């Protein structure tokens, strides 16, 4: 364990900023705390307990361009036959403009050749093609809470996990170049419930370095090899025994301040048993499908992929999506497997506490409580989970 004197925090940040872009919680002009780039004149806000949003956007931006392309259309009247010669002419035309043909669309009503011109950027994983604008710069995020770090590790399973089958180069380039310095929670909010999910206000899942506020500064613990090399800096002092004692006391006090509003045992079974329960209609009644809960959630990762084309020049990008959106599961045929609001509402909780756990042996919620804080109609995930757990009990009773 190391010790960082409080007045040495700016020195540490200045030092870190020579090696990477540093992100910290900052109170914005409107009073909202959000993660922002650190600069010498920026005050790090560690008193406001949770930033409005976790820094998930640092590894999974709201909007991200995959590739840029151009279309060339060749009408049948001009080209009676779409011959190899035609193809070659078009290929030469594209290459003469510095582009590259990466795909062709077979002719339908008219001869059509899709010409993709890959935007600048580094190479993606083999077999995934080139990636436009892949950001591989190093970043350090300091001041997030353990629940936010846990949210990142839950997203890791999806973007880089499952035996690497779904490896996402964009996400992983950023994630591998990101160092996480979390700060132990001091005074948890009434909406926090990390402990109910096996987490802790001093949890280390997804964390490289954990800092715990104590008198005069921070007790600093390296969690990963990345964290170990970071705490080698001379600004960190060797911790005296009283530093360790203070850190233990601070962690225990924080733990004691977190509510455990429901028993996790039985939640998954309750969701399963209550899949067709009319209770979902009651629970979903208040929801207005705004999607706020998904956007502020540190572990919600759903996205949509869109093409925007203007006069033959196009961009393919992904952007955050949310499962409350009626269009979310709308299929091309017109069929929508989650047509009703209660089915979409049910999906969010079932995904986090049933489907995802079945696939990744982990939860998809860290108990940060943001969805409770920011839901405009006061939908409370704790109430939903408690109610659905009772469905198991009800079923057992019937049996
Ligand atoms: S924030 Fe509340 S109202 Fe909005 S989608 Fe989520 S549960 Fe529904
Ligand atoms: S579901 Fe709610 S409590 Fe759980 S991680 Fe997401 S925002 Fe936080």
pLDDT over 60 at 40, yes or no: yes
pLDDT tens-digit map of 1-18: 999 999 999 999 999 999
Q: Which of these ranges, 37-46, 102-111, 271-280, has the smallest mean pLDDT?
A: 102-111
Rounded to the nearest angstrom, the distance between the alpha carbon of 321 and the centre of ligand 2 is 16
What average pLDDT does this structure show over 325-354?
95
Q: How confident is the model at residue 48 (pLDDT cuts 50, 70, 90)?
A: confident
Q: Are residues 42 and 170 in the same domain?
A: yes
Q: Are residues 170 and 300 in the same domain?
A: no
Q: How confident is the model at residue 124 (pLDDT cuts 50, 70, 90)?
A: very low
Q: Are residues 26 and 139 in the same domain?
A: yes
Ligand 2 atom, smallest distance to 366 CA: 5
Q: Are residues 307 and 380 in the same domain?
A: yes
In percent, the amount of the chain with pLDDT more than 70 equals 82
The answer to whether 219 touches 240, Cβ cutoff 8 Å, is no
Q: Are residues 223 and 164 in the same domain?
A: yes
Rounded to 5 degrees, φ, ψ at 249 are -65, -40
Rounded to the nearest angstrom, the distance between the alpha carbon of 370 and the centre of ligand 1 is 11
Q: Are residues 392 and 294 in the same domain?
A: yes
Rounded to the nearest angstrom, the distance between the alpha carbon of 286 and the centre of ligand 1 is 8
What average pLDDT does this structure show over 112-133?
40
Q: Are residues 248 and 299 in the same domain?
A: no
More confident residue, 92 or 140: 140
Q: What is the domain count for the chain?
A: 2
Q: What is the rounded distance in angstroms from the CA atom of residue 18 to the CA atom of residue 130? A: 30
Ligand 2 atom, smallest distance to 193 CA: 3
What average pLDDT does this structure show over 252-277?
94
Q: Which of 191, 322, 368, 376 to mutate to test the pocket of ligand 1 (most atoms within 8 A of CB)?
A: 376
What average pLDDT does this structure show over 285-293?
96
Q: Does residue 86 fall inside a structural domain? A: no
Q: Does residue 101 fall inside a structural domain? A: no
Return the ligand number nearest the Cα of 375: 1
pLDDT tens-digit map of 188-244: 899 999 999 999 999 999 999 999 999 999 999 999 999 999 999 999 999 999 999
Rounded to the nearest angstrom, the distance between the alpha carbon of 348 and the centre of ligand 1 is 10
* Boundary of a domain, candidates 232, 256, 280: 256
Beta strands in 154-298, from DSSP E residues, in sequence order: 178-183, 209-214, 217-222, 237-238
* Boundary of a domain, candidates 256, 275, 302: 256
pLDDT over 60 at 75, yes or no: no
Q: How confident is the model at residue 130 (pLDDT cuts 50, 70, 90)?
A: very low
Q: Are residues 293 and 387 in the same domain?
A: yes
* E strand or H helix at 309: strand 303-310
* CA angle at 385 for the pair 384 and 391, rounded to the nearest 5°: 95
Q: Are residues 328 and 228 in the same domain?
A: no
Q: Are residues 243 and 288 in the same domain?
A: no
What average pLDDT does this structure show over 318-327?
94
Helix, strand or coil for residue 139? strand
What average pLDDT does this structure show over 127-154?
79
The answer to whether 214 touches 186, Cβ cutoff 8 Å, is no
Ligand 1 atom, smallest distance to 291 CA: 5
Q: Does residue 180 fall inside a structural domain? A: yes
On average, the pLDDT of the chain sits at 87
Q: How confident is the model at residue 136 (pLDDT cuts 50, 70, 90)?
A: confident
Q: Does residue 373 fall inside a structural domain? A: yes
Q: Which of these ranges, 21-25, 113-117, 170-174, 295-299, has the smallest mean pLDDT?
A: 113-117
Distances (CA, A) of 200 to 38, 154, 327, 366: 27, 15, 36, 9
What average pLDDT does this structure show over 339-368?
96
Q: What is the rounded distance in angstroms from the CA atom of residue 341 to the CA atom of residue 322? A: 13
132-146, 202-216, 321-335: which is most confident: 202-216
Strand partners for 220 = 2, 211
Q: Does residue 78 fall inside a structural domain? A: no
Rounded to the nearest angstrom, the distance between the alpha carbon of 242 and the centre of ligand 1 is 46
Q: Which of 365, 378, 379, 385 to mutate to test the pocket of ligand 2 (most atoms within 8 A of CB)?
A: 365
Q: Does residue 128 fall inside a structural domain? A: no
Considering Cα of 205, then 229, then 139, then 209, what sign does the dihedral take?
positive
* pLDDT value of position 104: 61
Q: Does residue 262 fall inside a structural domain? A: no
Instruction: Residue 393: give the domain boundaries.
Output: 267-313+320-398
pLDDT over 60 at 355, yes or no: yes
Ligand 2, CB cutoff 6 Å, lining residues? 151, 296-299, 352, 365-371, 381
Q: How confident is the model at residue 128 (pLDDT cuts 50, 70, 90)?
A: very low
In percent, the amount of the chain with pLDDT more than 90 equals 72
What average pLDDT does this structure show over 92-121?
56
Q: Are residues 244 and 373 in the same domain?
A: no
Q: Are residues 165 and 230 in the same domain?
A: yes
Distances (CA, A) of 127 to 33, 159, 231, 242, 307: 41, 16, 38, 54, 21
What average pLDDT does this structure show over 297-319?
90
More confident residue, 342 or 91: 342
What average pLDDT does this structure show over 147-170?
86
Rounded to the nearest angstrom, the distance between the alpha carbon of 12 and the centre of ligand 2 is 31
Q: Does residue 29 fall inside a structural domain? A: yes
pLDDT over 80 at 131, yes or no: no
Q: What is the rounded distance in angstroms from the CA atom of residue 39 to the CA atom of residue 75? A: 56
- Pair type for strands 209-214 and 178-183: parallel
What average pLDDT does this structure show over 329-339?
93
What average pLDDT does this structure show over 30-50?
93
* pLDDT value of position 68: 77
């Amino acid at each position: 364990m190391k010790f960082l004197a409080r007045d040495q925090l700016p020195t540490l940040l200045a030092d870190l900023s020579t090696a990477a872009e540093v992100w910290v919680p900052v109170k914005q002009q409107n009073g909202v705390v959000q993660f922002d780039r650190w600069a010498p004149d920026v005050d790090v806000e560690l008193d406001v307990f949770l930033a409005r949003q976790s820094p998930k956007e640092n590894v999974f931006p709201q909007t991200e361009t995959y590739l840029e392309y151009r279309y060339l259309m060749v009408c049948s009247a001009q080209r009676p036959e779409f011959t190899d010669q035609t193809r070659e002419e078009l290929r030469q035309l594209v290459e003469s403009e510095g582009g590259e043909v990466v795909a062709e669309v077979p002719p339908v009503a008219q001869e059509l050749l899709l010409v993709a011109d890959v935007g600048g950027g580094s190479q993606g994983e083999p077999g995934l093609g080139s990636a436009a604008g892949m950001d591989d710069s190093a970043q350090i995020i300091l001041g997030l809470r353990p629940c936010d770090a846990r949210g990142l590790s839950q997203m890791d399973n999806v973007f880089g996990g499952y035996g690497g089958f779904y490896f996402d180069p964009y996400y992983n380039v950023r994630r591998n170049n990101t160092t996480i310095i979390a700060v132990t929670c001091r005074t948890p909010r009434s909406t926090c419930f990390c402990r109910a999910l096996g987490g802790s206000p001093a949890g280390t899942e997804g964390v490289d370095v954990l800092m715990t506020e104590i008198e005069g500064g921070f007790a600093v613990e390296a969690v990963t090899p990345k964290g170990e090399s970071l705490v080698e800096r001379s600004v960190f002092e060797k911790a005296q025994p009283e530093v360790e004692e203070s850190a233990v006391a601070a962690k225990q006090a924080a733990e004691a301040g977190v509510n455990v509003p429901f028993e996790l045992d039985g939640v998954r079974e309750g969701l399963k048993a209550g899949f067709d329960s009319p209770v979902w209609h009651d629970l979903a009644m208040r929801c207005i499908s705004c999607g706020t809960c998904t956007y502020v959630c540190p572990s919600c990762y759903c996205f949509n992929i869109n093409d925007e084309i203007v006069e033959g020049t196009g961009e393919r990008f992904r952007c955050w999506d949310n499962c409350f959106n009626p269009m979310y599961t709308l299929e091309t045929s017109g069929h929508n497997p989650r047509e009703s609001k209660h089915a979409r509402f049910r999906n969010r909780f079932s995904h986090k506490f049933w489907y995802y756990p079945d696939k990744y042996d982990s939860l998809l919620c860290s108990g940060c409580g943001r969805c409770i804080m920011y839901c405009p109609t006061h939908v409370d995930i704790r109430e939903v989970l408690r109610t659905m757990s009772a469905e198991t009990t009800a079923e057992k009773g019937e049996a």
